[in-house]
Structure 1
Amino acid sequence: MQVRPLEVGELEAAWQLGRLAFGSAPTPAPSALTPLVGLTRYGAFDSAGRLLGKAVDLHHEQWWAGRRVTAADVAGVAVAAEARGRGVARALLRTLLADARERGAAISALYPTVTGPYRSCGWEVAGAQRAVELPTIALPAHRPAPELTVRAGGAADLPAVADLYERVARHRGGLLTRKDVYAPEPSTGLPNGIDGLTLVEQDGQLVGYAAWARGRGYDRHAVFTVEDVFATTAAAARELVGFLAGWRSVTPTVRLWPLAHDAVAAQLPLEHVRVREERIWMHRPVDVTRAVADRGWRTGVRGRVDFALTDADAPWNSGFWRLEVDGGEAHLHRIPDEPALSLDVRGFALLYTGAADAYAVAEAGLLRAGGGADPGPLDLLGSGPRAEAIDYF
C-alpha cells in the first residue's frame, strides 16, 4: 500500500469514494475537484494503483488560553467497501500525522462517524458540539439599553466581527481561529449561508453580534438558526437575546450552538433547552513537545511531574518525559529513567483537553501508576481551560 498526497487528476475518484461512504450529493462541488490552499488530501493506493481510501489534513489553528496552536484537523476519511478491515485508515492516518508534524502541527481534532478506528490510532473523545433549540417565546425580552446601539451589519463590518470572535475565543481551549471564515459572498456581502448580521455597539465599538439564517415559513415548524452569537458584555448579551425574542411571532423555535458559560449562555433560559444534535469530537497530540510548549497555561499554576508516554502511531511522542509548568509557560523534557506514572496517548488527550482528571483516566485504563503511586499529579497536564468545539469540519 502506498499513501501520498492526491494529484489533481485523482480528486474525482476520491470524491466518488467519499460520496459512496457518506451518501453525499451525486454532483461534486467545484472545490472538491480543485487544489485548495490550507489542506492536504491523501490517498491510499494498492500495487495496481487503485484508490483504496482517502483522508484530508485541514491546516487549522486552535486557540489555547491566548495562543494559536497549529493543528492537523482530520476530515473526509473514507475507505472503499472492499478494502475495509485491512489497515487502510491506519496507514492514511499515520502518514497524515507524520507529514503534519513535519509542517509544524502540534495537535489534531476530528469528528468521527465511528470511534473505534480513531481510538486505535490515538484519538480520544474529548467533548461534543451541540446544536440546541429553545422556544422563542421563552427567551426574555427587555427594554433596550440606552447606551447600546443595535443595527444591521454588512461586509464592511466583517473585520470587526472577526475581531470580536477572537476576543471571545482566544482565552478558551480548542476553538478554531477561523482563518478566512469571515469572507463576504459577492451576492450578499455576508458570509455563505448567512441572511442577516445583527450588531450591538457601545460608543462606536462592537460588543456583540449575531449571524443568522431566517429559515422558511412562519408556522409552528419555522426555525430561526443562529450560526454565531457572541458578546463581550452582559448588557450586549441581553440585547442579543432580546433581539432573538423579537422573532417569536413568526419563528417559534431558535436553534444555536452555544459556548459553555459565556455572556450569551448566562442570559438564556437553559431549562428550556432541547438538544437538537450532538456530534462528538476527538483529540490527540501530533507532537507532544509542541502541544505543551505552544499553548497558554494558567499563570497561577506551577509544578512538575514525570511520566512515560506510549504512542504507537506517532512514535516520536513515546518515551519518558518531565512536564514543567510555571508562570503561564510549560515544557516537556526527556528524562533517562522510567517514571512510576505511565500514560497512553489517549489519556494524554483527555488530560490535555480537560475532559477528565488523572483518576478518571487511570480508571479507564489509560494511565498506570506503578508501585502504588498517586496519579493525581498528572492533573497538571490538564490545568488549562476545558476544551470546546463549535465549528464542524
Structure 2
Amino acid sequence: MATTLHVRELTVDELTDAWNLGRHAFGFDPQPAPQATAVLPGLTRYGAFDHTGRLLGKAVDLHHEQWWSGRALPAADVGGVAVAPEARGRGVARALLTGLLRGAHERGAAISALFPTVTAPYRACGWDVAGVMRTVNLPTAALPRHRPAPHLTVRAGTPGDLPAVVALYERLARDRRGLLTRRGDLFDPRTTADTLPFDGLTLVEDHGHLVGYVSWDRGRGYRADAILTVHDVLATTADAARELIGVLASWHSVTPTLRLRLLDGDALTAHLPLEAVREHEQDPWMHRPVDVTRAVAARGWPAHVRGSVDFTLTDDLADWNTGTWRLAVADGDAQLTRVTADADLHLSVRGFALLYSGASTARSVADAGLLRATTGTDPRALDLLAAGGPAQLLDYF
C-alpha cells in the first residue's frame, strides 16, 4: 500500500507522540524526561506524517560541530530515528532523512554522523560506516604504579573547573578528525552548571595550569563486579598521564574494573597496559556529507599534500551534491569546483563518506562497488580525498 508522506518540523504539541514512538522503538522508561517534550535549542526534530496527519516516524538533527584538522565544521548529527511498527519498510525513514538533510543544508551544515541500530537503511541513504567507538574494560590492578611527579598537583575538581576542563579537551580534540567540539546549545549548560555532571572529577595541575583530568562515575558495590566508569581521561603531558594512571590505579581495592573510551594514540594510551584491555562494547558510527563543497572547504587538510582530481558524484538524497567536481588540495586548504568535462572516476556518496573520513582507500572503495573508474584509469587518484587520516568519535548521541 503506497503511503503519501509529509515531512516537517514537529510542533511542541507533537513531542509527546514523538517520544512515545521512540519509547516503543528503543524501550525507554514509561515516563519521559522533561527535556523530551520541551522545545530545546541546538536541535531540530522532524516528523513524517501520513495523509490523515498521523505521525509515522521521527528523527532529530543535532546541531553539533566536529573538529576536522584544526577547524570546526557545522554538523547535522542524527539521533532518535524511529518508525511506527506498521509503517516500517514503506519509505518513512528515507523520507525523514531526506527532509532532515534538506533542512540541515539550509541551515549551513557540512557533514553528518550517526550511530545506527541497523546499517542497511542508512547506507541506502548515503551514510557509511566510518569508524567504531570502542568502550573497553581494564583491570585496575593491571595499571602501573608510578612515583608521583613533584611538580604536579592532584586535586578534586569543582563545577568552577569545568571551563578549564572543556579547554583542555579542545586542545586535544581540535587537531583530530570527527571529535565533537562540545560547544553550542547542547553542551554549554554543562559548562556553567552548579553541580558536576558526573560523580567525580580529578585534576592534575602543573603550577596551577591544568594538564590532565579524569571524570568518573563510581557505580555500586565494592566487590569483584564493581566498575568505575570513566567518561574522559585526558592528558597533555606524559607526566600528567602517568599521574592520572596512578589515580585510577588507586581504585583497585574497591573497583576491580575500569570502563572507559580511549583516544587513539594520545599521551595516556602510551602508558597503559593495552594488552590487558578487553572489549565491553563496540558502537559503529556512520558518516556522510551534507554539502560536499562546505565539507571540503571548511575542514583542514595536511599542509604537505597537494594535487587535484576530477570525479563525478552521485547523491540521490541531496541533489545539490550530484555532479562532476574538481578537488584541488594545496597548502592546508582544499576546494571543490564544478566542471563540465566528463570524469573518468564515478563516486557514490557512500564512497565519498568513506574516503573523506579516512575509513578506506580509493582502491578498496572501488572493490566495494562504490567507485567506478573507466578502463585504464587508476582509482587511487581519489586517495587525495582521504588525506588526513582516520576520524574518531568519543561521544555517543
The answer to whether the Cα contact below 8 Å between 1:122 and 1:284 also exists between their aligned partners in 2 is yes
Mapped partners of 2:304, 2:155: distance in 1: 41
Q: Which residue of 2 aligns with 1:108?
A: 112
* Matched-pair identity in %: 66
Q: Which residue of 2 aligns with 1:210?
A: 214
Mapped partners of 1:359, 1:253: distance in 2: 41
Return the match for 1:280 from 284, 307, 310: 284
Q: Which residue of 2 aligns with 1:244?
A: 248
Name the aligned partner's letter for residue 358 of structure 1.
Answer: A
Mapped partners of 1:71, 1:15: distance in 2: 23
> How many pairs are equivalent?
389
Q: Which residue of 2 aligns with 1:17?
A: 21
Mapped partners of 2:203, 2:252: distance in 1: 19
Q: Which residue of 2 aligns with 1:97?
A: 101
Mapped partners of 2:64, 2:348: distance in 1: 25
Q: Which residue of 2 aligns with 1:190?
A: 196
Q: Which residue of 2 aligns with 1:84?
A: 88
User: Does structure 1 residue 8 correspond to structure 2 residue 16?
Assistant: no
Name the aligned partner's letter for residue 95 of structure 1.
Answer: G
Q: Which residue of 1 aligns with 2:148?
A: 144
The answer to whether the Cα contact below 8 Å between 2:166 and 2:191 also exists between their aligned partners in 1 is no
The answer to whether the Cα contact below 8 Å between 1:65 and 1:385 also exists between their aligned partners in 2 is no
Return the match for 2:59 from 49, 55, 58: 55
Q: Which residue of 2 aligns with 1:70?
A: 74
Return the match for 1:294 from 293, 298, 303: 298
For structure 1, the 5+ residue unaligned runs are none
Mapped partners of 1:155, 1:23: distance in 2: 33
Residue pairs, 1:25-44, within 5 angstroms: 25-44=29-48
User: Does structure 1 residue 353 correspond to structure 2 residue 361?
Assistant: no
CA offset digits 1:93-151 (Å, max 9, x no partner): 00100110000000000000000100000000001111100110000111100111111
Name the aligned partner's letter for residue 92 of structure 1.
Answer: L
The answer to whether the Cα contact below 8 Å between 1:70 and 1:106 also exists between their aligned partners in 2 is yes
Secondary structure in 2 aligned to 1:108? strand
For structure 2, the 5+ residue unaligned runs are none
Name the aligned partner's letter for residue 348 of structure 1.
Answer: F
Mapped partners of 2:192, 2:219: distance in 1: 20
Shift of 1:386: 1.2
CA offset digits 1:325-372 (Å, max 9, x no partner): 001100000010111111110000000000001111111110111022
Secondary structure in 1 aligned to 2:191? coil
Name the aligned partner's letter for residue 379 of structure 1.
Answer: D
Mapped partners of 2:354, 2:263: distance in 1: 19
Secondary structure in 2 aligned to 1:158? helix
Mapped partners of 2:306, 2:358: distance in 1: 17
Secondary structure in 2 aligned to 1:372? coil
Q: Which residue of 2 aligns with 1:264?
A: 268
Secondary structure in 1 aligned to 2:281? strand
Return the match for 2:123 from 119, 124, 130: 119
Secondary structure in 2 aligned to 1:166? helix
Name the aligned partner's letter for residue 355 of structure 2.
Answer: L
Mapped partners of 2:268, 2:217: distance in 1: 18
Secondary structure in 2 aligned to 1:118? helix
Shift of 1:204: 1.4
TM-score relative to the length of structure 1: 0.98
Name the aligned partner's letter for residue 312 of structure 1.
Answer: D
Shift of 1:183: 2.8
Q: Which residue of 2 aligns with 1:171?
A: 175
Mapped partners of 2:211, 2:199: distance in 1: 20
Moved runs in structure 1, 4+ residues, more than 6 A?
none
Mapped partners of 2:292, 2:388: distance in 1: 15
